[in-house]
Structure 1
Amino acid sequence: MTMAHLTIDELKSQAKRLRTAMSAAGTPLTHSGALELVAKSHGVRDWNTMAALAARTDNQPELPAVVGGTVSGEYLGQRFTGKVLSLTRLSQSTFYKITLHFDQPVDVVTFESFSAFRQRVTATIDGKGVSPRQTSNGRPHLVLDT
């Protein structure tokens, strides 16, 4: 397991095991000393830096899509496949702004008398790829397949 995938709790457990092993070998070690040694063993300057890196990694949500990737789903009730042109996390939230380019234009009007085709759309989605905005019948505007 690389340092980038370790949680704060896992790193503290490493420090506790190190402290126990060092004490058993006759070399007492303080808890803070063990934390510093764990940080150095992972190539990090000190424990505070290590804790900041681990916390930042722990709090990163999984992305609902990848820029340049191919996605499929429903937009205003119509099936689509397309490419992700951009994905931006909205500041300090769990939502993203996504821009898609559909392989084939999607008719977003349900009336038989006329059509309105869209091939490029921008929407807000959550971490699961679902738009919080809904149509009048309660369906999300955009739903990405997982």
Structure 2
Amino acid sequence: MTLAHLSIDDLKAQARRLRDAMTAAGTPVSHGRALELVAKSHGARDWNTIAALGSRADNRPAAPTTVGAVVTGSYLGQRFRATVLSLKKLSDSDFYAITLHFDEPVDVVTFDSFSAFRQRVNGTVDSRGVSPRHTSNGEPHIVLDL
């Protein structure tokens, strides 16, 4: 059973709609019974079980951005404006794999005599848009302006 996309409010709204529909069909049920029926429809043993799962889903951080969004931030210390090409939640962690396409290539080398430009990069960010990986000076690889 996966309820990652459902909140407690979503589940309660389903129960209200079910109760209203059953009443309109001539079979009124109490709100409590409607909650139990919604829980069973999602494969849970009872309302308390699904409410506990829904609560955990409500407390998960939201994704930092969406696919197709235009974002700004810094990559290896260089400012950028980019389009998010992909964003995928990494299993049961609070991290996301992200692919960015920079409007203008970013020079990722800090030496004056050498340059290496990147226009598309892959990385990992948390729900705040900050990479868990850091450069040698302690700066996160990716920081999105949220």
Superposed pair shares fold, TM > 0.5: yes
Separation (CA, whole Å) in 1 of partners of 2:56 and 2:67: 21
Shift of 1:71: 0.4
- For structure 1, the 5+ residue unaligned runs are 12-32, 40-44
Kindly state the Cα deviation for residue 62 of structure 1 after the two structures are TM-superposed: 1.0
Alignment match, 2:32: 35
CA distance in 1 between partners of 2:99 and 2:79 (Å): 16
Written as runs of structure 1 = structure 2, the 5 A alignment for 1:72-83 is: 72-83=72-83
TM-superposed CA distance for 1:109, in Å, is 0.2
User: Residue 113 of structure 1 corresponds to which residue in structure 2?
Assistant: 113
Q: Please say if residues 66 and 84 of structure 1, whose CA atoms lie closer than 8 Å, have aligned partners that are also in contact.
A: yes
Matched residue type, 2:39 = W
Which residue does 2:20 correspond to in 1?
none
SS at match of 1:46: helix
1:7 and 1:55 in contact (8 A); partners too: no
Q: Deviations over 1:71-113 (max 9, x none)?
A: 0000000000010000000011000000000000000000001
Residues 95-142 of structure 1 show CA distances to partners (whole Å, capped at 9, x for unaligned) of: 000000000000000000110000000001111000010000000000
Q: Would the aligned equivalents of 1:101 and 1:119 in 2 still touch at CA under 8 Å?
A: yes
How far apart, CA to CA, are the structure 2 residues paired with 1:122 and 1:101? Answer: 9
Tell me the C-alpha RMSD between the 2 structures: 3.0
- Name 1:124's counterpart in structure 2: 124
Q: TM-score, normalised by structure 1?
A: 0.69
Residue 47 (structure 1) aligned with residue 39 (structure 2): yes
Equivalences, count:
119
Give the Cα–Cα distance (whole angstroms) in 1 for the partners of residues 133 and 39 of structure 2: 43
Larger Rg: 1
